[in-house]
Chains A and B, each alone.
Chain A
Amino acid sequence: MTTLTVNGTLRESAAPPSTPLLEVLRNEFALTGSRFGCGEEQCGACLVLIDGTPAQSCGREIGTLQGRAVTTIEGLQNHPIIAALIAEQAGQCGYCLSGMAVAAAALLARNPNPTRAEIATALDPQLCRCGAHPRILRAVERAARELNR
C-alpha cells in the first residue's frame, strides 16, 4: 500500500509497487486527464507535478511515491493556464493539452515572467502532432500576464 497526496487529498493505492503512477492515477483514482502517450517518458502527455516538480508519470513507480504530493491536471483547474489555453484556442485533438498545461504551470511557478524563448525551451519535451504550438506559446504568455496582475 502506498499513501500519497493527490491534488491535496490523501490517497492510498493498492497497486503493486512497480505500477506506473500514470496507471494508478487513471485506473485506480479515475483521474483520466493525465494521458498515455508512449510509456517511455518521451512525449510528455502524462506529465504531472511531484512535489511541484514536473515528472512524466508513465515512468514513476507508485512504490517510490510514499508520502509525496502529486498534482495532476485535475488539480490545476483553477490555474490561469486552463482559461488561457481555451482563450487562445490552443488545442486541436487536445490529447497533449493536459501535459502542456502541467508543464506551463511548472514553468510559471519557477519563472513568472518567461520570455517566448524560455517558454519554448520549457515546453520542448512536450510533443504536439496537430501543430498547436504557436497558440500554446501564446497561452502561456497570457497565463503569465494573468498571474502577474
Chain B
Amino acid sequence: MTDLPKSLADNPRLDRWLRFAEGRVHVSVGKVEIGQGISTALAQIAAEELDISLDRLAWRAGDTQLAPDEGSTSSSLSIEIGGASLRLVCAETRALFLAEVARLLNAAAEELEVEDGTILHAGTPTGHDYWSLAPRVSLARDATGTTAPKPRARHRLVGTNTPRRDLPGKLTGGAFVHDMVLPGMLHARVLRQPRPGATLAAVNEAALARHGARLVRSGDFAAILAPTEAALRAAVEAARPRWDNADTPTPAMSEAAWLATQPADIRTRGSEAAPPPGRSHAATYSRPYIAHASLGPSCAVAHEQSGILEVWTHVQGVYPFRINAAQTLQRAPETIVVRHAHGPGCYGHNGADDAALDAAIIATLVPSTPVRVLWSRADEFAFAPAGTAMQTALRAVLDAEGMPADLTATITSGVHVNRAPGRLLASRTLPNAQPLPPPAESSDPYPGTGARNIVPYYDIPTWRYEHRLVTGTPIRTSALRGLGAVVNVFALECFLDELADLVGQDPAAYRLRLLSDPRARFLVERAAAMSNWSARGPAGTGIGLGMGFARYKNKSGYACVVVEVEADTEIRLRHIWCTADAGLAINPDGVRAQLEGGIIQAASMALKEQLRIDETGTATRSWADYPILRFSEIPPIDIELANTPDEPSLGMGECTMGPTAAAIANAAAHALGVRVRDMPLTRQRILRAASA
C-alpha cells in the first residue's frame, strides 16, 4: 500500500469517482471549476488514463450527494492532489477491467489495450468494452494506488492545449448559479447587519406589503422575499431597517499601519539565537485590505423540502460548507445537500459561502419555497470578506561579502482562513449564535497562512520570524489569492533589491548568488534574458526594470516576473515577462492563462486596490470606489514555461502574485530612484517618497 494522495485517502472507494453507463464515463470530483480550467485539466487526466476520448466524459464536480469529499478547491492543489488522486483511480480502474478481460480470454493483461473504451487483444477487438463489462467489474472497492499510471511517453491528452470544456456554455446563458430558476422561486435579500453586534430595532414592514414582499426574521437575521427582482429591490429600499448598537470604526483602520498597533497573538518560528552583529538593513512593507471583487455579486439558490435542504452555490468547498450550515442551522449534515454551480471568479474566499448560508437560512424559514439570494454590488463590496491588510518588517545582517547572513521578519496580519462554523456572515445574527472559538490560523511557514513564504527560498543561513496574528480586524477577512505569500514575497523581493542596491550589486545577479535550486536559477536567468536585463540602465531615469521571484509555499509552482515601467508621479506598465516552472503541465495553455491572470490581478492590487473603511464600516460600495486594472493599462505579457515534464505537476494559480507585485515595486524604484514600500503604489505615496 503506497501513501495515497489526500483526496484518494479520504475517498478510497473507486465507485465514488467513476461510473460506466450508456457509453459514457461518469466522473465525480470534489475540485470545482472556479475559472482556473480545472474541469478540463482533470478531464484530460481521466481520459488519458482510461484511454477514452474526452467526449465520453460526463462530469460532476462539487456535490455532497454525488461526488467525493475533496475539501476545498484552494491553495493551488487541485492538480497536485486532486489530479494525482483521479489519475490513480483511473489507472487502477482500467487495470481492473483489463484483468477481467484477460481472465475471460485466458490472455495476459499486457497483451490488451483500450481504444476509446473498447478493449483490444493484439490490436483486434475482443467484443468487450468498459460498458459491457461494467456489471462484472465491481468498483465497490478501495483503491490501492498500486497501478502505475501511464508513462509520459504514451500521453496523448496530458500535456496538450485541450480547449476549456466549460467556455462555450459561458458564452450563452444558463451556465451560472445566477441563471437557475426553480418553479415558484422567490427572490430574497438579507438586511445586512451593518456591524458585528448591531441589533435590529425596527423594519418598516408595512412598506414591504406594498411591493408584494414580506419579511422573515430570526433574531437579528432579517430577510425580505419578493416574487420579482424589481419588487425585491423596491422592498429593500423601503424597508428602512434601524440598527442599534453598531460600533463606529474610523478611516484610520483602513491602513495596515493601524493593524500593526493592535493587540496580537504572537507566534515565533526559526532560529532562537539572536541575530549576529554586523552591517544590517531594515525595512517595512505593507498592503491594505483588498476586495475579492468578483465581477458578479454572490448568489445561491436553496430549497427546503421533505426534510432535505438543497443548496446550489459557487462555494469552493461544498462539504466544508455543509458542515458549516449544519452546525449553524443545528441539524444533521445528512439533511443538507450542497451542489456546486458556476459563479463569478476571483480566486479567493469571496461572499459565495455567505450568500449560500443566507439562502439556506431563508429556505428553512419558508419551507417548500425555493429561494434565490443575489447580493447587491454594494453588499458584495461591504460585506464579503476581504483579503487582510498585512505588514511585513524585515531586517537582515550582511556578511563580509554583502550577502544576507541572517534574516528577521515580523509579520502582522489578520486571519486568512475564516470559514469555520459560526464565522459566515449571517451566523452571528441568529438567536442561537454561539461565541466564536479563536480562529484556527496556522503560523507555520508550510503551507502557512499569514507566514506563507516568509522563509526565504534563498540560501540565507539563519532566519527567524514572528507572526503577529490580529483577530480584531475592523472588517472580516479571508483567503485571497496567495494569502500571506503575496505580501511576504512582495516584502522579501523588494528587500533583496534594497540589499543589492546597498552593496552595489545587480539585483538579478544578487538573487542568483543566493539561489542553489537549479530550477529557480534557470527561471531567473531566462527571465533576465527575455527582458534584456543586461541592458538595464541606471536608476532614476523614469524607466525602470524590476524583478521578483518566488517558489509558492517553497514547494509548489515557481515563477519569476520582470516588469518594465514608466514612472513619474504615477506608474504605467510597459511590458511584463514571466518564466514559470509547472513541472508536468497537464494543459500548458491553461497554465499560461493562470499565470497571466495572477500577474494581472497582482498588478491591479499593487497599483490600485484598497478597501476604505469609515464610521459606517466598509465605505467602498461600488466599482467607482474600487478601480481595478482595465484593458488599456495592461501591457504585453510574455510567458515562457520551463520544460520539466518529468517533474510532478505544480499548481500555477497563485505563484505569480507576490513576484509580480514585487517586480512592479522594484521597477518603480528603479525608474524613480526612490522606493515606495506600501501597496498600492499610488501617486500620493510616490510624491511622499520623493519628498522624503
Contacts and interface: CB of A to CB of B under 8 A. Distances in A.
A82 interface: yes
B284 interface: no
Contacts of A130: 35, 345-347, 597, 601
Contacts of A42: 377, 622-624
A27 B601 CA distance: 33
Contact of B167 (A34, A94, A117): A94
A38 B622 CA distance: 8
A92 B597 contact: yes
A143 interface: no
B296 A133 contact: no
A96 B342 CA distance: 13
A106 interface: no
A2 B380 CA distance: 32
A35 B293 CA distance: 15
Interface string A71-101: 0011001000010011001011111111001
B455 to A, nearest CB: 28
Interface residues of B, number: 57
Given A43-B623, A120-B631, A120-B632, A91 B296 contact: no
Interface string B167-195: 11011111110110100000000000000
A124 B630 CA distance: 6
A132 B173 contact: no
Given A32-B173, A93-B35, A132-B597, A45 B295 contact: yes
Contact of A134 (B175, B343, B596): B596
A131 B628 CA distance: 10
Contacts of A59: none
B530 interface: no
Given A35-B176, A82-B171, A127 B624 contact: no
A23 interface: yes
B297 interface: yes
Given A20-B230, A135-B593, A31 B634 contact: no
Sorted from nearest, which 9 A-B pairs have the closest CB atoms? A94-B170, A93-B345, A131-B600, A93-B35, A32-B173, A131-B597, A92-B35, A95-B344, A32-B179
A4 interface: no
Contacts of B294: 93, 95, 129
A129 to B, nearest CB: 5
Contacts of A34: 173
Contacts of B174: 32
B147 to A, nearest CB: 32
A117 B635 CA distance: 11
A129 B293 contact: yes
Interface residues of chain A: helix, strand, loop or mixed (majority): loop
B171 A129 contact: no
B431 to A, nearest CB: 32
Contacts of A31: 173
A33 B176 CA distance: 10
B589 interface: yes
A40 B297 CA distance: 12
A126 B164 CA distance: 22
22 contacts: A23-B229, A32-B178, A34-B173, A35-B178, A36-B178, A37-B295, A37-B297, A40-B377, A40-B624, A43-B295, A45-B295, A89-B589, A92-B37, A93-B295, A95-B294, A95-B344, A121-B631, A121-B632, A124-B630, A126-B631, A127-B628, A129-B601
Contacts of B629: 133
B167 A131 contact: no
A95 B345 contact: yes
Interface of A: 15-16, 18-20, 23, 26-27, 30-40, 42-43, 45, 73-74, 77, 82, 85-86, 89, 91-98, 101, 117, 119-121, 123-124, 126-137
Contact of A131 (B173, B590, B599, B624): B599
B62 interface: no
B376 interface: yes
Contact of A135 (B175, B176, B596): B596
Given A121-B632, A129-B628, A93 B343 contact: yes
Interface in B582-608: 589-590, 593, 596-601
A48 to B, nearest CB: 13
A135 B163 CA distance: 14
A31 B632 CA distance: 30
A40 B623 contact: yes
Interface in B135-190: 161, 163-164, 166-168, 170-176, 178-179, 181
A136 B631 CA distance: 9
B61 to A, nearest CB: 14
Nearest to A92: B35
Given A95-B295, A129-B345, A129-B346, A23 B170 contact: no
Contacts of B175: 94
A133 B374 contact: no
B164 A36 contact: no
Contacts of B661: none
A16 B562 CA distance: 54
